[in-house]
Amino acid sequence: MLCSPSEPKALKKLGTVSSAPEKHGADFLIMGHKQRIGVQRKQFPGDLIASLTDGRLYDQLPRLADLDMAILIIEGHGRWTEDGELISSKYHSMNVSQLHGLLFTIMFEFGIPSIWVGSMDDTANVLVNLEHWVNKDKHKSLKSRPGPDKTSWGKQHMAQHIMQGFPGVGPELASAVIKKFEGVPLTWTVGQDELQEVVGLGPKKAKGMYDALDGVSSE
């Protein structure tokens, strides 16, 4: 991770100090798997509003958007009235609608999402986690379907779960199929011993997979 010289000491220690991020409109530049992720950090309300006033943000956004990926970290929450007006005697006034409009513009016109954090420590955590994420070989968090729960009606729930794994099959259609055939109308074409020939698939997991399909009924 490359950190801009203008960043606080607590954040600069997360990586190597370099002016390279600033050339891309970023405060931090994270590289991994031939991708460059630019991170712009804005303290709120001070730095964010000031960067709007002096035009810095409008200069930074197009350069950030030219990177492979970019993100805006907004640090701090400010104080607001019940009517949604920012309480500040130092900075230009802003209301919630104006803030939302700004974030929508940044996200949809420049393709840069925002993460809102409460403190510099939170920012540090985001940066560390982001660097870890970009350097992972694979990202699996959204590639696995949650399994059915293990309640007393687990057999029926398992049957529903299996049937809804087919394209276009929702809860009602899955229930109709299970009712018609008194269970899931599928069977294994291999035995448990053959399943265990797959690297990483042991006896316990093979039995669990086999039992999940074989013999599932609607009773």
CATH number at residue 24: 3.40.50.10130
| Residue 216 one-letter amino acid | V
- Same domain? For 51 and 159 the reply is no
Look at residue 217 in the predicted model and tell me its pLDDT. Answer: 42
How far is 183 from 190, CA to CA, in rounded Å? Answer: 19
pTM (predicted TM-score): 0.65
| Residue 214 one-letter amino acid | D
Q: What whole-number percentage of the chain has pLDDT above 70?
A: 87
For 34, the token pair is 């031939």
Cα distances (Å, whole numbers) of residue 209 to 41, 64, 158, 162, 167: 47, 47, 11, 11, 21
The CA-based angle 132-51-85, given to 5 degrees, is 100
- Same domain? For 32 and 119 the reply is yes
Does residue 177 sit within a domain? yes
How far is 213 from 219, CA to CA, in rounded Å? Answer: 14
- Same domain? For 99 and 71 the reply is yes
Does residue 33 sit within a domain? yes
- Same domain? For 9 and 46 the reply is yes
- Same domain? For 128 and 172 the reply is no
Tell me what the pLDDT averaged over the chain comes to: 85
The CB density around residue 112, as the number of other CB atoms within 10 Å, is 22
Look at residue 142 in the predicted model and tell me its pLDDT. Answer: 56
Partners of residue 74 on adjacent β-strands = 42, 116
Does residue 142 sit within a domain? no
Does residue 140 sit within a domain? no
pLDDT (tens digit per residue) in 69-101: 999 999 998 888 888 888 875 656 788 999 999
Looking at the 3D structure of the chain, how many domains does it have?
2
- Same domain? For 53 and 98 the reply is yes
- Same domain? For 92 and 16 the reply is yes
How far is 96 from 83, CA to CA, in rounded Å? Answer: 9
- Same domain? For 128 and 190 the reply is no
- Same domain? For 65 and 110 the reply is yes
Does residue 181 sit within a domain? yes
Does residue 127 sit within a domain? yes
| Residue after which a domain boundary falls, among 134, 164, 191 | 134
pLDDT (tens digit per residue) in 98-142: 999 999 999 999 999 999 999 999 999 999 999 998 888 776 655
For 195, the token pair is 């399943």
With 0-12 / 13-18 / 19 or more C-beta atoms within 10 angstroms meaning exposed / middle / buried, residue 167 is exposed
Contact assessment for residue 212 and residue 192, using Cβ atoms and an 8 Å cutoff: no
Tally of residues, the chain: 219
- Same domain? For 32 and 124 the reply is yes
- Same domain? For 24 and 117 the reply is yes
For 133, the token pair is 């994420």
Tell me 90's DSSP state: S
pLDDT (tens digit per residue) in 157-175: 777 888 888 888 888 898 8
- Same domain? For 111 and 28 the reply is yes
Domain housing 206? 154-213
For 207, the token pair is 């039995």
Q: What whole-number percentage of the chain has pLDDT above 90?
A: 48
For 108, the token pair is 């949809």
* Residue corresponding to tokens 């104080």: 79
| Residue 199 belongs to domain with CATH number | 1.10.150
